[in-house]
Structure 1
Amino acid sequence: MARRACLLCNKYVEELLLRRTTPKSNHTIVLLSSLVLFNVIDLTEAKRCYEACVKIRQRFCDQHYIDAAKFIASEMACLGIAFTTYVDEPRGVVVSYANEKDVPMHLIDSVQENARKISEQLVVTQRRVSEFLNYCLSRYQPEAFRAIISPDPQPESASSLAETEESHKDNMDVKPAALLCGSSNTPELIVVGRDHSVMDAFTEESTTEELDETDPILLEKKFIVKGNRLLSLFRFCPKCGTEINKNRRNVRLTEAAASLMVHYICDNCQGKQCWCGM
């Protein structure tokens, strides 16, 4: 299998272990800003990578996405915030995702500050950070994002300390993580009622496409799961983890030759997408 170089670390790895960027991708902004925040890379390196990504699609190692998501998850865990989970009954798996309002504002402020240092025009919001987390959660095993801190640390034995020291020698380029339960100058609001967060003023220009309305009969029909229950699972794009806009007709259920099909529109994947059941 072909091996390609990662733009960030310059290591040649199998292409399956790399992720392609897209120009002006919010995921790239959150990735680089977070790695700067947690002292994995410096600002000069982040600027170099961002400028290259704006010009043409680039490749980053999976591990960089995992590291950034792990540090963000640890910051949330420091405040006692965990991912939301549910059981995907047809597949029999537990699905985890991050709620937009669960991302602490002090973290957004810090990531935003680094983003502005990379480029004055860059904007980071709770929605964009949660979409980045969901993008990673949809591609990698949840165990990869286990918090790097423990809420109730236990005394370490001499042997475990030795192992930790040896591990640190293998990661000399990675500085100690910053932040962990900082404070924010931005007040956090508790909103009661309908969630209007998806109407963020900084939301990317999105498609104006719409789908036809779902046949009401299909919503009550039972396949493997009830139709309306299945549609409720499509809060996020199965491909990239981006939250699907609920304010337009962006999800539709249809049936063709006894097969169940969910049509949806993802702003990040650009255009109409389709999921087919058996």
Structure 2
Amino acid sequence: MRELPEGPEAESAPGSPVPATPAEVLLDGHRATRDRVARSILDHGPSSAADLAGRLGLTSAAVRRHLDGLAAAGLVESREQRVYGSRGRGRPAKVFALTESGRDAFYQAYDQLAADALRWIAEAGGGGEAGQEAVAAFARARFNRQGEKYQGALEQAAAEHRTEALAEALSADGYAATVRRVPAATAGASPGGAQLCQHHCPVVHIAEQFPQLCEAETEVFSQLLGTHVQRLATIAHGDGVCTTYVPAPGAAPSPRQGTGAAPTAGTTTEEPPATSARRSPA
């Protein structure tokens, strides 16, 4: 990390280095630990300082110093932790999430060419609803090809472990996916299923403009897992994690409807959260 002069002479000191850009804060020398903190948030979703300290083997004080630096660079922001189900007394815990700039500091598999190509597809398809359907057809073809890569791994997994197998395949493609088991809503009921959480989206900026990408991905998940799945939240719509609810094998999908957001990493869930209403991208 570049050391800036301290005191009144800081601004006038000859040879004062230029402040680091957001991407540079994640690079070089002893910035490696700060990089690990940011990467842990990317992989696990919004996290408290205590969560990060436990995962990285650091003291809470050290983690907070790195979080302060990341926040000053505009790479992370703090927010109150969302808790589902009953919550004890006291103020909600504070968690730290990556900002848009923080996500951009990591590799993103998109560029302006991709956006221009999808716009061209929409226009060539006739514009309006016909153009949107042309983009949707492209998105389905793309994710179907991606799903073909995952098919073998899922076929080798037992039915109850296919969601984990899909998460491993997605992580290999840069989605930093994890699985959280959801307990049954009532005692004695069949298993409640699982939440497939993608903590990183390599095409998030394109998905913001073309929600057909998220819809096609959800369709492919349903085909691969052999059950109806419910998309609860997406990074492209401003949520911290892309979350998909997967019913347990042989169970009916959750009937709950309404608005809500998916839990973030480290949050206790007593029942499947309500399905988020789809928002139109700005």
TM value normalised by structure 1: 0.25
TM value normalised by structure 2: 0.25
Larger relative strand fraction: 1
Larger relative helix fraction: 2
